[in-house]
Structure 1
Amino acid sequence: MNIIQQKKDERTRVVYIHIPFCTNKCFYCDFNSYVLKDQPVMDYLRALDREMEMTVQAQPPGSISSIFVGGGTPTVLKPDEMQFFLNSVRKHFPDWDENIEFSMEANPGTTDLEKLSVMREGGVNRVSFGVQAFQNELLSGIGRIHNTDDVYRSLENARAAGFQNMSIDLMFGLPNQTVDMLSESVTKALELGLPHYSIYSLKVEENTLFHTMYQKNQLPLPDEEDELNMYLLLMNRMSEAGYRQYEISNFSKPGYESRHNMAYWLNEDYYGLGAGAHGYIGRQRHVNVKGVNPYIEAVNQGLPRLNTLDIPREEAMEDFLMVGLRVLDGISRARFEQQFGASMDQTFAAPLEKLVHAGLLDTTDEGYKLSSKGILFGNDVFGEFIGSLTGN
């Protein structure tokens, strides 16, 4: 391998792009998103094009292995806006790995056949639908505007447009949700025969309607025992149906694991583009300006950074363990040593020994992984590494 090729192979290969518009704000959502009405969408997409241009000039990419377009709801873009956006991506990131995973988040009801065809022609080959539940009363109770009919129609349109690699998100621990309701949602989800499912527990985040309701004791959440039973149920049901739980909240058929999320969990570098996007390159993390118009204005002055932080080596080591242990195959001593030139067992001797002794971690030939008990108490495991080297 020549030197030029070797250097290119070490460049960033993973891209996250943020489209901050959505049809309405869900009651649990704390993402950087804005209701679409009266927003300067094309001005935003032009600014995004400019940010891509400046980014690749400053940090040339390698052969791109993964692109993920999140939001907001990227599929609220009209077909001509979608085409402009996808052309920008291809223009500034032209070298794609032959097995690239190009994912876009979508909401059922925002994806007609025309738009999905534009996406497919523009290189998108994976769609992740935010379904959340299969009971219309639960959907309206969390602020979703789609219904179950929209789910089936959207999947039908996606298949007609040529998509085979699709995923849906479900949620558990929702207000008024029962274990039986989750079981029904899992049954209906599995009937779709998709290669990938993400199933997340509700987190009540600050600056959301749910947080306000929670503070006023007006949020009828399932109790802890029901929520635990929901998680156990979905793990069992997915396993019985032939899906492998490869990460705490993610299940797939073999070969359909989310390559983009795996890059995060393996602590790899990635570009972060768009309003409020986070990026991580060369142990430097940045956050972009959040508001739509402030972002557009910032791009006119240069890269739209809200702040940029150099990540100390010790903090990067802690992140490696906290994030890497979400993956059920676990963390690798060799990968740790490759990134940091140090022994993982020596660096984290005390917390690793404590967690193994508590039955929350298992040792493997390569390193460590969550035990079956540890999967249920993942946050306790990850918390052991926060500040264990930095003292924060």
Structure 2
Amino acid sequence: MLDESAYQALMSITKRPASVMVYGSGSWLTDHEGKRYLDFIQGWAVNCLGHSPRVVVEALSNQASRLISPSPAFYNDQALRLANQLVVHSCFQRVFFASSGAEANEGAIKLARKWGALHRNGAYQIVTMENGFHGRTLATMSASGKPHWEKLFEPKVPGFIKVPLNDLDAVVGSIGPETAAVMLEPVQGEAGVIPASREYLQALRRLTRDKGILLICDEVQTGMGRTGTLFAYQQAGIEPDIMTLGKGIGAGVPLAALLAKEEVCCFEPGDQGGTYNGNPLMAAVGCAVLEELLRPGFLERVRELGETLRYGLLQLSRKHRLGEVRGAGLLLALVLPQPKAEAIAELARERGLIVNAARPEVLRFMPALNVTIDEIAVCLGILDQILGEVFETA
């Protein structure tokens, strides 16, 4: 282990084990002592192609030798290329690039409020979901529905009304003359992988159209192939007015995006920006990632791998008398009968498997989209052993 003083320079913001990660390849991480870990978190669904994928390394190397950042005052070829590809493969016409999902969501909130000011007599309120998660800026924390954030960093940004997910009547009751938009994750990741139902999303789309307000889909975690299609909204057969992307779009580098329909775009010069936003180094990576996801058969393979992992988790649930398996694609959760997720995640890490305790009673799985069948089998085997020990099942 490193000397304890080596850890003190970093501000303490989360509990971390003493292991220091120094190398990653595909689904595997290696720490400073040479121990290897099968990573089924992948930076919270960030490393969609695994650790240090060749296409990302090559994109970074090639672009770094050409142009890193001309500033947002100029167009650059990589940002234009990525924006056009996103437009071609989505229902949106305009793209703004950012450096994090929280920044993209902050932009979506600003865009909705500007639109409300122009088209709904100054409407600024946004209906969001209880237990939702939209980021860690002050506005996105205010939009989020995490209970233990309620009294943190007060006073918060006003204008967000929280309702339960999948409760259309609650949304109806929250819409008034000051409402500009409804904002939600198609699958609530931080809440423990809780999907919005297809019927709910379709009804929400009809409702927002009837009421003349916007629908915003936060696809920071669900987008870029994570749920088995390029974007999760496509599985519901709807078209949001605004969508945000992050995590997987950069496959490990700081890249995010705000996408919107043409009729919603109302930013004027000076309203929105960012020093690093749309820089060609990150945009080149985004292009490489998108090209990989769009290769023939790639997303079909994600769906197949997701079903393999889901089936394995269902078998473990039956064997050890656990709860439901929920989610889509390679964003899945296993519900436990007791709040032992953190203990299980800790035991798994000790045995070389990294999984996430999303909630005290929920384990979350977000492996690389190109994880192998054999790696899934290793994950399930380690879990099987641990679950047998923890829940004392035969």
Question: TM-score if structure 1 supplies the norm length?
Answer: 0.31
Question: TM-score if structure 2 supplies the norm length?
Answer: 0.31
